[in-house]
A and B are shown apart, each in its own frame.
Chain A
Amino acid sequence: MTHPTLTARSRQGSGRLADLLFRGSSRIAAGVVVVLLILIALLLAWNSRLTWQTFGLGFITGQTWDPVAGVFGALPFIVGTILAASLAVIVAAPIGIFTAIFLSELAPRRIATPLTFMIELLAAIPSVVIGLWGVFILAPFLRDTIEAWIVTLFGWIPFLGGPAHGIGLFTAAVILAIMILPTIVTISREVIQAVPGSQREAMFALGATRWETIRRVVVPYARSGIIGAVILGLGRALGETLAVTMVIGNKDAIPSGLFDQAQTIASKIATSFSEASVGIGTSSLIALGLVLLILTVILNVVARLLVLRVASPVGGE
């Protein structure tokens, strides 16, 4: 929406020139934002061309990453990324959605306000600090408790076998779940709050309990927005680097089990980039980056569209 009043030009000569300059420079600044996005994609594609020329799509399906032999395959990292991120979402989505419901529908304001604030604070903690806590506190704790229990009770199920190291896929997923919780909670809360009050009132008037109102009216109404929130969380989990790098174990192979060590795309780039030989080594890591870029951009676009469907006022911007 533009303001018709502002599009009228000033009549003073000097003012007009300054106006043009100002308008022009602000347009350039906005252009920079758009160009930046395009440049990111182009530069990653261009600088990884050597890898795509050499391996083609075989790069994505290849299972070996051996810089010495000059063979580069991304599959272990793609699998690691998807496994870690989806496990994180499985843990974080129900907790996050229930929390959002609690904050917007159930809790009195004097509880909801500080809780919301604390959850936003969790999002502000730098990744590396959470990683440090993950390595020295969370990983040993999980190893001795949850991981040990699962191995003893369900170790006979193929994917759940031991040994539990603490450092590995499982801990990475838990760390990721913690880090994407704020995303899921704040956005779900927003879309739930956008559900018109009349919908709830109609339900109450019919004698429904609070929970029935939430389950049959509020959540269905906000559904696409909540799905969007979860997808945004997934997108964050795919790209999260430092904390994951510190706890996942950095093993360049497809993990054989839940507690095995693994590697994500982001953690592979983080650990190998500065040692890679310029040429095919660097190019392959940038190619990995391009794969990650495509994944996250697609997820983000889909998620934003879903959230917009619920959260934007009808006919507004």
Chain B
Amino acid sequence: MVAVTPAVRTGRLTGTRSANRRTRTDKAMRFIAGLAAVACVIPLGAVLIFVTLNGISALNLDLLTKPSRAQGIGGGAAAAILGSIQMVLLATVVAIPFGVLAGVYVREFASARVARAVRFAADVIVGIPSILIGIFVFTFLVLPFKQYNAFAGSIALAVIMVPVIMRTTEEILKLVPVSLREASLALGIPMWRTVFSVVIRTGLPGILTGIMLAVARAAGETAPLLFTALGSRFVNVGDFSKPMDALPLFVYINARQPYELQNQQAWGAAFLLLLFVLVVNVLVRARTAGRRAQ
């Protein structure tokens, strides 16, 4: 019905001159829309090109293997690379059970109202600026101990990952046919085994996709680590009660130094980070696209 009133008005315009004008407007607006789409892609291209160019020229063995040093006298990002791997791993291990189980609950067990509330909470958490997640974790994992620590960093990253994993799990479980569940239950298989061995098994590739995207996101987060893991010039392997460096922190801190060498290291580390994030995203999305096409 929405269409009728305005369409009647356009009917008035079917004289030749106005028809020409209408076609011209149509063409012009299509062109503008295309232009806007191109404008969206330009920043992506510019970031990719500059980070790759500057990053590759900064890449060397020192960057990959040496811990960082004081102002402008060399060193590398080894502490940051190791720190990122450890913190993201711990965060993933913490976030997966909560995220997946919450997704299962919302999809399989919850009443419509409860499901809506949990989903809503997850969406709101996704929208909360990540720096506030950092402060939140700071108040109970750093402040009481008066010590910045890598554990707090991991928890902050996990808080960011949980709602993402939950939402993808839920979306994927929606695609698992009800008949599969019914078949399993009809065979007398208890519900928990049905969910684990049939429902989650079927949705596993999709759930893994969600987890990988959450990992890529966590690996690039800086703000939640600023007041939790803090960053460190020393290699820290395994001591989560002490500060730990991470690649995004390394980029941030080195970009703010007045020394050319450190700025270059920032580019190198940014390139590594970007490479990881993009590879994960491209792989994951290429796979999902392939599956959709089948």
Kindly specify which of A34-42, A63-71, A72-80, A157-165 makes contact with the partner chain. Answer: A34-42
A10 partner residues in chain B, CB cutoff 8 A: 185, 188-191
A209 touches B22 (CB 8 A): yes
A266 to B227, CA, bound (A): 13
Tell me, rounded to whole Å, the shortest Cβ–Cβ distance linking B244 to chain A.
15
B281 touches A26 (CB 8 A): no
Q: Is A94 an interface residue (CB 8 A)?
A: yes
Q: Is A127 an interface residue (CB 8 A)?
A: yes
Count, chain A residues at interface, CB 8 A: 112
Q: Is A297 an interface residue (CB 8 A)?
A: yes
A269 to B226, CA, bound (A): 10
B278 touches A129 (CB 8 A): no
B3 touches A199 (CB 8 A): yes
A16 and B190 in contact (CB under 8 A), knowing A125-B277, A133-B47, A239-B128? yes
Q: Is A103 an interface residue (CB 8 A)?
A: yes
Which of A6, A47, A138, A235 has the most chain B CB atoms inside 10 A of its CB?
A6
Q: Is A151 an interface residue (CB 8 A)?
A: no
- In chain A, residues 222-274, which have Cβ atoms closer than 8 Å to a Cβ of chain B? 232, 235-236, 238-242, 246, 266, 269-270, 273-274
Which listed residue (A29, A30, A122, A232) contacts B44, Cβ 8 A?
Answer: A122
Indicate the size class of the contact surface on chain B. Answer: 35 or more
A304 and B10 in contact (CB under 8 A), knowing A19-B190, A99-B37, A266-B129? no
A115 partner residues in chain B, CB cutoff 8 A: 37, 40-41
A136 to B162, CA, bound (A): 34
A12 and B131 in contact (CB under 8 A), knowing A26-B105, A212-B26? no
Which listed residue (A22, A96, A136, A242) contacts B223, Cβ 8 A?
Answer: A242
Q: Closest chain B residue to A184 by CB distance?
A: B40
A292 and B129 in contact (CB under 8 A), knowing A115-B41, A122-B44? yes
Which listed residue (A12, A273, A299) contacts B190, Cβ 8 A?
Answer: A12
A39 partner residues in chain B, CB cutoff 8 A: 136
Contact bitstring B110-149, A, C-beta under 8 A = 1, else 0: 1110111110111111011111110110111001000000
A185 to B41, CA, bound (A): 12
B185 touches A6 (CB 8 A): yes
Kindly specify which of A50-58, A142-150, A200-208 makes contact with the partner chain. Answer: A200-208
Q: Is B221 an interface residue (CB 8 A)?
A: yes
Q: Closest chain A residue to B199 by CB distance?
A: A6
A135 and B10 in contact (CB under 8 A), knowing A26-B101, A106-B30? no
A33 touches B118 (CB 8 A): yes
A292 touches B185 (CB 8 A): no
Tell me, rounded to whole Å, the shortest Cβ–Cβ distance linking B107 to chain A.
9
A211 touches B181 (CB 8 A): no
Contact bitstring B250-294, A, C-beta under 8 A = 1, else 0: 011001100000010011001001100110011001000100000
Q: Is B230 an interface residue (CB 8 A)?
A: yes
Tell me, rounded to whole Å, the shortest Cβ–Cβ distance linking A96 to chain B.
7
A19 partner residues in chain B, CB cutoff 8 A: 190-192
A39 to B137, CA, bound (A): 10
A239 to B132, CA, bound (A): 9
Q: Is B106 an interface residue (CB 8 A)?
A: yes
Tell me, rounded to whole Å, the shortest Cβ–Cβ distance linking A82 to chain B.
14
Q: Is B66 an interface residue (CB 8 A)?
A: no
A84 to B194, CA, bound (A): 51
A241 touches B223 (CB 8 A): yes
Q: Is B98 an interface residue (CB 8 A)?
A: yes
B132 touches A44 (CB 8 A): yes
A85 to B76, CA, bound (A): 36
A110 partner residues in chain B, CB cutoff 8 A: none
A216 and B6 in contact (CB under 8 A), knowing A132-B270, A293-B132? yes
- In chain B, residues 93-107, which have Cβ atoms closer than 8 Å to a Cβ of chain A? 97-102, 104-106
Tell me, rounded to whole Å, the shortest Cβ–Cβ distance linking A191 to chain B.
15
A132 touches B266 (CB 8 A): yes
A12 touches B188 (CB 8 A): yes
A309 partner residues in chain B, CB cutoff 8 A: none
Q: Closest chain B residue to A38 by CB distance?
A: B121
A129 and B131 in contact (CB under 8 A), knowing A3-B108, A25-B101? no
B143 partner residues in chain A, CB cutoff 8 A: 47, 278
Q: Is A217 an interface residue (CB 8 A)?
A: yes
A274 partner residues in chain B, CB cutoff 8 A: 226-227, 230
Q: Is B239 an interface residue (CB 8 A)?
A: no
Which listed residue (B117, B131, B178) contacts A270, Cβ 8 A?
Answer: B131
- In chain A, residues 278-317, which have Cβ atoms closer than 8 Å to a Cβ of chain B? 278, 285-286, 289, 292-293, 296-297, 299-301, 304, 317
Residues of A that sit less than 8 Å from B by CB = 1-3, 5-6, 8-12, 15-16, 18-19, 21-23, 25-30, 32-34, 36-37, 39-40, 43-44, 46-47, 94-96, 98-99, 101-103, 106-107, 113, 115, 117-122, 124-133, 135-138, 178, 181, 185, 199, 202-203, 206-212, 214-217, 220-221, 232, 235-236, 238-242, 246, 266, 269-270, 273-274, 278, 285-286, 289, 292-293, 296-297, 299-301, 304, 317
- 10 pairs across A/B with beta carbons < 8 Å? A10-B189, A28-B101, A99-B37, A102-B37, A106-B33, A122-B43, A128-B248, A131-B255, A208-B10, A220-B2
Residues of B that sit less than 8 Å from A by CB = 2-4, 6-8, 10-11, 14, 22-23, 25-26, 29-30, 32-37, 39-41, 43-44, 46-47, 50-51, 54, 97-102, 104-106, 108-112, 114-118, 120-125, 127-133, 135-136, 138-140, 143, 159, 162-163, 166, 178, 181-182, 185, 188-196, 216-217, 219-223, 226-227, 230, 248, 251-252, 255-256, 263, 266-267, 270, 273-274, 277-278, 281-282, 285, 289
